[in-house]
Amino acid sequence: MAFEYIKALHIIFVITWFAGLFYIVRLFIYQTEAYQRPPEEQKILAPQLNLMASRLWLIITWPSAILTLIFGFWVLYYRWGFMQLGFMHAKLGFVLFLYIYHFICHKIYKDLQQGITNWTSTQLRIWNEVATILLFAIVFLIVLKSLISVVWGIVGLVVLSALMMAGIKWYKKVRQNKGEI
């Protein structure tokens, strides 16, 4: 019975972690665009967006990432036999990429809190989709538990990535036509 509670907590913190990752990059986009505004607008927008990013990142996203890791190891302890299966190695590889993504987001967060914009809003829009791709990979691997599915999953991820890139380009074109960029 304890295992079910641990697994439920792991899933809950995975969800809150992804929610934080998805929203923080949107805030990065807004922060980057705010720094391109006239000084009087920057003076209003930047502090508010910095506060929102700080609360999201430090109160929700980081704790969720840490608790996901703790409960994930705990679940793995109960299901150690899964470590002999190839799908689990692949899944843990994608999880490692997700933590790398998280640390890169932390660097972007720290830079933007200091007013340093090293990424364009378009680059950040593309970066935002990396978490989506990792989410798809991890969920399909853990649900299907099959390395054969990984091949099809990778094909699906490539197609999904291409569709997302097309969507980003289309959205940028729409914004340009409306004079928002």
Q: Is 10 annotated as a binding residue?
A: yes
Q: Is 89 annotated as a binding residue?
A: no
3-state SS of the chain?
CHHHHHHHHHHHHHHHHHHHHHHHHHHHHHHHHHCCCCHHHHHHHHHHHHHHHHHHHHHHHHHHHHHHHHHHHHHHHHCHHHHHCHHHHHHHHHHHHHHHHHHHHHHHHHHHHCCCCCCCHHHHHHHHHHHHHHHHHHHHHHHHCCHHHHHHHHHHHHHHHHHHHHHHHHHHHHHHHCCCC
Annotated binding site: 10, 91
Annotated binding site for heme: 10, 91
